[in-house]
Structure 1
C-alpha cells in the first residue's frame, strides 16, 4: 500500500517522559538509512532496541508499551494491602515505590552480570520464610498464567488496532 515510502515504526512507553523509557523500532527496507538517527532519538529518552519484523511491534506494545500499567497495578495492590495491614498510606506508598525502584535497578545490574529476575527472586526467597509464603500464594493463583493471558490479550488488541 505504501510502496517505497520510508517508515520507521516505534513503540515507546511512558517512562520516556523522564528519560527511562523502553522503545522498540522497526524500519522497513526504505527506512534503513534513517534507522541510526531514529535509534539515537529514542535512546535519548531511555533504552531503544530494533526488531527485525514489524509484526513484533504488537508484542512490544503488549510487553513494554503497556508494561508500566502492569507495574502500577501491582504497586496499587501492594499499597492497598499495606494499608489493610495497618500501615499509614504515606508509609505504604513510600515503601512500595522505593521497593519497585530498587528492584528495577537491582534487576538491571543483575542483567549486566548475565543474571535474570528468577535468580534474584530465588536469592531473596528463604526456605520457610515470608517471601516463600507469599510466592506460594502467587503460584497457587497462577500469576504466571494471568500475566501471560493479559499480555497475549494486549498483543491481540494491538494487532486489531493496527488493521
Structure 2
C-alpha cells in the first residue's frame, strides 16, 4: 500500500465507511450521486396497459386493496393471480370483489389460487414459496426460458401491517426477515 493511502486511513478525515482494496490499490469511500431524472409513467402509456405472461402474487390478496390490485392486473391481461393472506379466506365484505375477479379470470382463461401465509412471518412466507412448485409454478423465470411452466413475474404487497410491526425495535427476527 502507498504511504498516502495508509495516512488517509489512519487520519480518518471524518470518513465512517471506507474500504481498502489491495487489488485496485485504492481507498474506496461510498458517495451518493444524483441520478438522472426518469420520466413518469402516465395512464394510457403502453407500458402500463400490458403485463407480462406469468403469475402475480398479491399479499393481503383477499382484502379489498389486494382484490382491487388483482382486478387491475386482470384488466391489463394478467392470466395468473395468487392471492395470499393470513387466513386464506375471502373477507365476507369483499365477496363481491372476489366474484368479479374470479369471473374476469375465467372469462379470459386465467387461473386464480388462494394461498395461506402471513407476510409478516419469514417462516410462513418461506413455506408458501416452497409450495409454489406443487401448483406448477416457479419463482425463477430464467429456469423457465423455453419451458412450459409459468413463472412468478410480479409481487404486489397489499397486506396491512398490524400496528406492532411499525416499531422495528420490537420486531422478532422472523418478523424483520419477512
* TM score, norm. by length of structure 2: 0.25
* TM score, norm. by length of structure 1: 0.26
> Hey, which of these two has a bigger chunk of helix by percent?
1
Larger radius of gyration: 2
> Hey, which of these two has a bigger chunk of strand by percent?
2
